[in-house]
């Protein structure tokens, strides 16, 4: 699940968009490194009594990417496989159903969701920058709708938390440790 780009992070003195997107891309790249290159055994590894697996993290974050940036931000319907899930009765579906997926399916699901998110973010930035309000998920009061800025902060937090989980699970599984992938190069290019 490697994503061979420079993950040096956001620019040292960039604007708000470059800082937020650079931070998000660094978190994505760190996560991809922590969960990448594993077989079924590695993706189903757990630590202690926790039910969290690396495969579950991959599928969960693929869902979060699609839900936040396709559905919430743009107001579009969920795409497959999320559109077929009975969320009311199985909110934890991404976590436990990952055990039924091959590494190739899980990695492709995450990469596809990230690609859709990047396109959605670029579209929203072109429409109105970081102040664009989400299209779905705010109830009846549009004034309560989150901005793209807030959505980006939320997903950076989500990745940071789950990259920490992945770090611990991966170290327990095969000893891989470190903050950044060795020799990583992840140049950040802001959307046009």
pLDDT tens profile 89-138: 999 999 999 999 999 999 999 999 999 999 999 999 999 999 999 877 76
In a domain, 179, yes or no: no
Structure confidence at residue 14 (pLDDT): 80
Report the domain count for the chain. Answer: 1
In a domain, 181, yes or no: no
What the block records as the tokens of 16 is 């708000």
* CATH number, position 129: 1.20.120.450
Structure confidence at residue 188 (pLDDT): 43
Structure confidence at residue 5 (pLDDT): 46
In a domain, 53, yes or no: yes
In a domain, 170, yes or no: yes
Domain range for residue 108?
16-174
Q: Which residue has the higher pLDDT, 160 or 13?
A: 160
In a domain, 137, yes or no: yes
Per-residue pLDDT at 2 exceeds 50: no
In a domain, 118, yes or no: yes
CB under 8 Å, gap of 24 or more: what pairs does 4-8 form?
4/184, 4/185, 4/186, 5/29, 5/184, 5/185, 5/186, 5/187, 6/184, 6/185, 6/186, 6/187, 6/188, 7/180, 7/181, 7/184, 7/185, 7/186, 8/184, 8/186
CA distance 7 to 24: 10
* pTM of the predicted model as reported, rounded to 2 decimal places: 0.89
Structure confidence at residue 13 (pLDDT): 78
pLDDT band at 60; cut points 50, 70, 90: very high
In a domain, 38, yes or no: yes
> Worst-scoring range by mean pLDDT, 30-34, 93-97, 152-156?
30-34
99: Cα within 13 Å, side-chain hemisphere: 10
In a domain, 72, yes or no: yes
């Amino acid at each position: 699940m490697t994503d061979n780009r420079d993950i040096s992070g956001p620019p040292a003195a960039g604007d708000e968009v470059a800082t937020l997107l650079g931070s998000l891309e660094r978190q994505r790249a760190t996560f991809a490194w922590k969960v990448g290159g594993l077989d079924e055994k590695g993706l189903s590894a757990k630590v202690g009594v926790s039910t969290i697996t690396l495969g579950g993290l991959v599928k969960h974050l693929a869902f979060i990417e699609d839900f936040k940036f396709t559905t919430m931000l743009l107001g579009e319907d969920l795409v497959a496989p999320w559109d077929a899930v009975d969320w009311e009765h199985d909110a934890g579906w991404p976590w436990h159903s990952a055990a039924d997926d091959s590494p190739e399916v899980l990695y492709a699901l995450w990469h596809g969701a990230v690609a859709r998110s990047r396109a959605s973010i670029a579209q929203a930035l072109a429409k109105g920058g970081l102040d664009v309000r989400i299209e779905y998920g705010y109830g009846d009061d549009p004034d309560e709708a989150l901005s793209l800025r807030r959505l980006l902060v939320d997903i950076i937090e989500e990745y940071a938390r789950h990259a920490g989980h992945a770090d611990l699970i991966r170290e327990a599984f095969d000893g891989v440790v470190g903050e950044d992938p060795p020799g990583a190069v992840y140049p950040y290019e802001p959307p046009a």
